[in-house]
Amino acid sequence: MDHFLYRNGELYAEDVSVADIAAAVGTPFYLYSTATLTRHYQLFDDALNGMEHMVCYAMKAASNQAILKTLADLGAGMDVVSGGEYARAKAAGVPGERIVFSGVGKTRGEVRAALEGGIRQFNVESEPELLVISEIASSLGKIAPITIRVNPDVDAKTHAKISTGKSENKFGIPISKARAVYAEAAALPGIDVIGIDVHIGSQLTELEPYELAYRKVAELTELLRADGHNIRRLDLGGGLGIPYTRSNEAPPLPSDYGALIKRSVGHLGCEIEIEPGRLIAGNAGILVSRVIYVKQGEDRQFLILDGAMNDLIRPAMYDAHHDIVPVLEPDAGVEQQPYDIVGPVCESGDTFAKNRMMPPLAAGDLVAFRSAGAYGAVMASEYNTRPLVPEVLAKGDQFAVIRQRPDFDEIINRDTIPPWL
């Protein structure tokens, strides 16, 4: 459920007219709903009720500081995967003790910055990383809290590009080697082993892969405890999928997921962390774009938008489907027609949808890409020297621009010309 609904014949974000925002901000732009972000965070928080827990929002999904602050004010922690994300979370006011550092290639600089600024834990993904963290922590006179990310060799049954829990994926250490690596970790001077981490993939639409992975984590917890490790925290990753269309079957709810967590690892008495990103931000954001031209091709009509693949890469990159709806509510019973919906970038891959049935649209009309809040703005680029899309946050009847559209000078002046030119 989200808060982008038609009212009085036009699309609203909570109590603000999307067309009014478009008039004020220009198009394209991303638009988020505070109430939807809040609702989704609360669903996870409630799902883990009764267990000591922290919902650490995977901020890679949508990392604007206004979004981070909205969630942090509700009690969320953050899952970060780079020094930049760490700095951004801190800038948004998230204390270090609520920041978890994930990622397969943390640099020495990133490790040092996190240790100096405060960190809840590192989720370690390899033996060399373990040595680096121990060495840097020792040099700073600190002990780094860590979990080790295990790769449970479970098929998440999702798109290959976002599946992370199979042995052929680069993530984590093989679960079969876990006991040896935990023994190595425990012997290092700068390391405090506190738990286990697992994340098997993104946009999971079934609970079964989670169940398989979490059962393996539960078994490993008992083994590691028997080996003498004080395992007291389990980071169970993110990945719960969202409905991208109204018609397809809804993925499991956070409450089902919470029940599964209780069933599979609840008896261990560990503190639970989860790292959802998409489910919190995905349906809390839309991308609003304007039709530039309607072009009649040989055998089809093209709807050419001012938004492009550089603004929303998911269709080009993963063949992802996003519902695209007109901002003005179509009259009931209006006859739909097929369009190929494209952007202005000079590649055929800049296609959002083929043969998509839409009510008749004309140049100047506004459309909204639904479910664009996660992995939308954060994956945008300036390809074709197109400015990064602004971001807007709605709350009740208010809205605020939370990232301005850069002007061309700002973009162009980043280049420097060498002295020999």
210 is in an annotated binding site: no
Among the candidate windows 43-51, 65-73, 125-133, 195-203, which touches ligand LLP by CB under 6 A?
A: 195-203
Judged by CB under 6 A, the chain residues 19 through 38 that form the site for ligand LLP are: none
Pick from 25, 23, 58, 8: nearest CA to 373: 58
Please enumerate in sequence order all residues whose Cβ is within 8 A of that of 204, keeping only pairs 6 or more positions apart, or say none.
156, 157, 158, 210, 239, 240, 241, 251
C-alpha–C-alpha distance, residues 5 and 197, integer Å: 38
The single residue of 346, 362, 417, 421 carrying the catalytic annotation is 346
Minimum gap (Å) between residue 257 Cβ and ligand LLP: 11
Q: Computed from CA positions of residues 172, 176, 178, 181, in that sequence, does the dihedral angle turn out positive or negative?
A: negative
Residues 195 and 185: beta-carbon distance below 8 Å? no
Q: Which of 45, 129, 275, 350 binds ligand LLP (CB under 6 A)?
A: 275
208 is in an annotated binding site: no
Pick from 217, 252, 255, 254: nearest CA to 236: 217
Taking CB under 6 A as the rule, does residue 209 contact ligand LLP? no
Q: Which residues pair with 285 in a beta bridge?
A: 32
User: What is the number of helices (H) and of strands (E) in the chain?
Assistant: 12, 21
- Interface characters, 56-85, with ligand LLP (x: CB under 6 A): --x--x-----------------x------
C-alpha–C-alpha distance, residues 203 and 193, integer Å: 30
Q: Which of 3, 88, 106, 199 binds ligand LLP (CB under 6 A)?
A: 199
278 is in an annotated binding site: yes
Q: Is 270 a catalytic residue?
A: no
Among the candidate windows 21-29, 126-134, 221-229, 272-280, which touches ligand LLP by CB under 6 A?
A: 272-280
Reduced 3-state DSSP string for 89-123: HHHCCCCHHHEEECCCCCCHHHHHHHHHHCCCEEE
Q: Which of 28, 145, 209, 238 binds ligand LLP (CB under 6 A)?
A: 238
Q: Which of 277, 285, 307, 315 binds ligand LLP (CB under 6 A)?
A: 277
C-alpha–C-alpha distance, residues 169 and 7, integer Å: 46
Residues 334 and 359: beta-carbon distance below 8 Å? yes
- Binding-residue total with ligand LLP (CB under 6 A): 20
257 is in an annotated binding site: no
Indicate the residue among 61 and 402 with the shorter CB distance to ligand LLP. 61
Pick from 142, 119, 145, 152: nearest CA to 130: 145
Taking CB under 6 A as the rule, does residue 145 contact ligand LLP? no
Taking CB under 6 A as the rule, does residue 40 contact ligand LLP? no
Taking CB under 6 A as the rule, does residue 172 contact ligand LLP? no
Question: Binding site for substrate: residue ranges?
Answer: 278, 314, 318, 347, 375
Active site residues: 346
Judged by the rule CB under 6 A, the positions of this chain that interact with ligand LLP are 58, 61, 79, 102, 162, 199, 202-203, 237-239, 275-279, 314, 318, 374-375
